[in-house]
Amino acid sequence: MGVVKVQALEWDGEVLRLIDQTLLPLNQEYVECRDYRCVARAIRQMQVRGAPAIGAAAAFGMVLAVKEAASDPPGFESFMRDAAAELRSTRPTAVNLFWAIGRMEEKLRHLAGEPLPVIIKQMESEAVAIYLEDQEMNRRIGEYGAALVPPGARVLTHCNAGALATTGYGTALGVIRAAHEQGKEITVWADETRPLLQGARLTAWELMQDGIPVTLIADNMAGYLMQQGKVDLIIVGADRITAGGDVANKIGTYSLAVLARAHNIPMYIAAPTSTIDFSLEDGRGIPIEERAPEEMRQMGGHVTAPPGVPVYNPAFDVTPAELITAIITDRGVATPPYRESIGKLAGK
Amino acid sequence: MGVVKVQALEWDGEVLRLIDQTLLPLNQEYVECRDYRCVARAIRQMQVRGAPAIGAAAAFGMVLAVKEAASDPPGFESFMRDAAAELRSTRPTAVNLFWAIGRMEEKLRHLAGEPLPVIIKQMESEAVAIYLEDQEMNRRIGEYGAALVPPGARVLTHCNAGALATTGYGTALGVIRAAHEQGKEITVWADETRPLLQGARLTAWELMQDGIPVTLIADNMAGYLMQQGKVDLIIVGADRITAGGDVANKIGTYSLAVLARAHNIPMYIAAPTSTIDFSLEDGRGIPIEERAPEEMRQMGGHVTAPPGVPVYNPAFDVTPAELITAIITDRGVATPPYRESIGKLAGK
């Protein structure tokens, strides 16, 4: 199995160490969080990003919060409520964030009445479990997904659903990695993914580090490539999947799905089952984050648009289930009709 | 009629003055060309860009070449051949460049045997005629096109087909300007247009200067806007239109056309008849320029991708006629079937 050389987050028992993804690929600097507010800030500023990665980061944020809360036992419960609320408020679209915080809260409830050192120890174990389970889920996604990738396939991906977006290996890039490890000699087109360029800065960088052939394109070139017959399949990650199979993912995913359909190209989603939101029937209920206009007006301090120009900057869009060929999860591959197939995979 | 405050090129009888479009909107600096090589360089480096504007610039380049050639009468003809060849070699896709150079060459042939001062004077008149005719054509395109724009329309445009892309007023933006002048209270979505950001840097800037409401989006957001019902029509320029109505335009146009069709949104092309290439039956014959990878790896010196990452950087794509609702020209509006309607407009 190939060595994955990038790690979005590391936990040493005291400190959550995050590679600052806003500075990659040029600078490899780390954010070291010793309290939950630091974790919340890092998620909000996208120093850590990617649905599974922010879920795991928030879980460790809850561990840090428990340690902070332990210094004032009478205020413990209200401190934890505030911490969970602040971590939840960081970003609205990726459901893994809420899933991980909810799981940590449930663990905390089960530990009620235990001595504080036990609570701390058990909460840490739960966060580590989330972390390790995510890695394991990515490996399984990779295995299931690689079976769908033909030898020599030219695979297009958008944004970064890689090791950096998860606790390691990646979802969409996990499938790509697994296919590469199986010797399928695939090549990758990486959409640069405006405005924050996760495709250019993170996906291209990850794949180059692993020696997987990658070519960078602007988002607006994807349709032309499909028209020229240069794309065999598309695979992306997900920030939230509804019970009916609608998928929220990085802005631009919907356009790719429409283009894929027009060119008869398979459109695959790769995500762990922790990304499925069974409380939502369809994608209309998914909140779409709008981010600051400055992300579109400058790049690394270099002004790229008239100062003060009005900007619309939605960070995600929703692709309806009918445009999705299959959803690759850690429990298998779901195909239409999704209400049935997703329910079956999740044991519902 | 509204005042158009930006001018791509000015000719004072001696010098061709070009606003350096690579530096807009932050810096308004000018390139002053006193010889044709300077003009060729400016076209190649996209200090002047936009199909009609580079046609006019090349025409003045031919005037400067005639003046240079006049200093060595025995070498006149070969100098002019070299000059025309160098100007032609600057960019391959926009047909207006070849059209304008061809027209200047034909004028030169007709002037054979005339005294050099007459040749210079007449060649200058021809270039000025190309310049003024283009302005006049843009006004007519604006009038014909505005009739297609409903009051309150939310118009999406890509790249810059504005005053800066022409000798003034613009093609796609000419239609937008005319509709605005008619009090139709339209609003504009401007695709930023990677990699060179002509939408962000030039279109948004032009429209803000004219007080036309504009909102900047990333290219990958256009599909989401259409899905949300926030786009009433799309209008873009063209770099080459074939006899059958296939249209080469800035990369990303094809994706917009596919998305427009999927959402039942009209897709309009606005271009002068000088953009029509009757020598080509369909778009497969249009050469597509590929530009330097560095355009995708950095922005204003700020590194945005891993150094050395392979890049594919086509500057144009071809939208097939069947995805185009109408082509708005200075001689009227062509609708399918285009072979007939374009031929009729052009008097062929």
Assembly ipTM: 0.95
User: For residue B116, how many other CB atoms are within 10 A of its CB?
Assistant: 15
User: In this structure, are residues B223 and A255 in contact, taking their beta carbons and an 8 Å threshold?
Assistant: yes
- DSSP type of residue B192: -
Residues of A in contact with B306 (CB under 8 A): 25, 200-201, 204-205, 208
Q: Tell me the per-residue pLDDT of B48-103, one tens digit each, with 9 for 90 and over.
A: 999 999 999 999 999 999 999 999 999 999 999 999 999 999 999 999 999 999 99
What is the least distance, in Å, from the CA of A46 to any CA of chain B?
16
CB pairs under 8 A between A and B: 194
pLDDT at B3: 52
Mean pLDDT for the stretch of residues B251-273: 98
Q: Please, what is the average pLDDT of chain B?
A: 96
pLDDT at B221: 98
Alpha-carbon distances of A24 from A163, A164, B4, B107, B239, rounded to whole Å: 13, 11, 42, 56, 37
Residues of A in contact with B191 (CB under 8 A): 220
Angstrom distance (rounded) from CA A264 to CA A274:
29
What is the least distance, in Å, from the CA of A185 to any CA of chain B?
17
Q: Is the peptide bond before B310 cis (omega within 30 degrees of 0)?
A: no
User: In this structure, are residues A131 and A168 in contact, taking their beta carbons and an 8 Å threshold?
Assistant: no
Residues of B in contact with A192 (CB under 8 A): 194, 296, 304-305
- Does residue A136 sit in helix, strand or coil? helix
Name which of B224, B230, B239, B317 to mutate to probe chain A: the one with the most chain A Cβ atoms within 10 A of its Cβ.
B224
B347 pLDDT band, cuts 50/70/90, is confident
Catalytic-labelled residue, pool B134, B191, B210, B239: B239
What is the least distance, in Å, from the CA of A235 to any CA of chain B?
16
Contact B312 A217 (CB under 8 A): yes
pLDDT at B89: 98
Residues of B in contact with A197 (CB under 8 A): 304-305
What domains, with CATH codes, occur in chain B? 9-138 (1.20.120.420), 144-346 (3.40.50.10470)
Q: Percentage of chain A with pLDDT > 70?
A: 98
B6 pLDDT band, cuts 50/70/90, is confident
Q: Out of A219-223, A322-326, B280-284, which region has the weakest mean confidence (pLDDT)?
A: B280-284
Four-residue CA torsion sign, A184, A185, A191, A192: positive
Q: Is the pLDDT of residue A125 over 50?
A: yes
Q: Please, what is the average pLDDT of chain A?
A: 96
Q: Is the pLDDT of residue B4 over 60?
A: no
**Chain-centroid distance, C-alpha B147:** 22
Q: Is the pLDDT of residue A25 over 60?
A: yes
Residue A239 designated active-site: yes
Q: Is the pLDDT of residue B1 over 50?
A: no
A1 pLDDT band, cuts 50/70/90, is very low
Q: Tell me the per-residue pLDDT of A63-90, one tens digit each, with 9 for 90 and over.
A: 999 999 999 999 999 999 999 999 999 9
Alpha-carbon distances of B251 from A244, B195, B245, rounded to whole Å: 35, 10, 17
Q: Which of B223, B300, B302 sits opposite A255 (nearest CB)?
A: B223
Mean pLDDT for the stretch of residues A281-303: 93
Mean pLDDT for the stretch of residues A233-241: 98
Q: Is the pLDDT of residue A99 over 80?
A: yes
Q: Which residues contact B222 (CB under 8 A, 6 or more apart)?
A: A255, B156, B158, B189, B191, B231, B255, B256, B259
pLDDT at A348: 64
Structure token digits, residue B15 = 């010098």
Q: Is the pLDDT of residue B14 over 60?
A: yes
Q: Tell me the per-residue pLDDT of A43-62, one tens digit each, with 9 for 90 and over.
A: 999 999 999 999 999 999 99
Q: At what angle are helices B116-146 and B51-69 packed, to 10 degrees?
A: 170
Angstrom distance (rounded) from CA B280 to CA B325:
20
Mean pLDDT for the stretch of residues B145-161: 98
Residues of A in contact with B302 (CB under 8 A): 299-302
B348 pLDDT band, cuts 50/70/90, is low
How many Å is the maximal CA-CA distance in chain A? 66
Nearest CA in chain A to B188: A310
What is the least distance, in Å, from the CA of A27 to any CA of chain B?
11
Which of A95, A15, A115 minimizes the C-alpha distance to A61?
A15
A256 pLDDT band, cuts 50/70/90, is very high
Mean pLDDT for the stretch of residues B249-266: 98
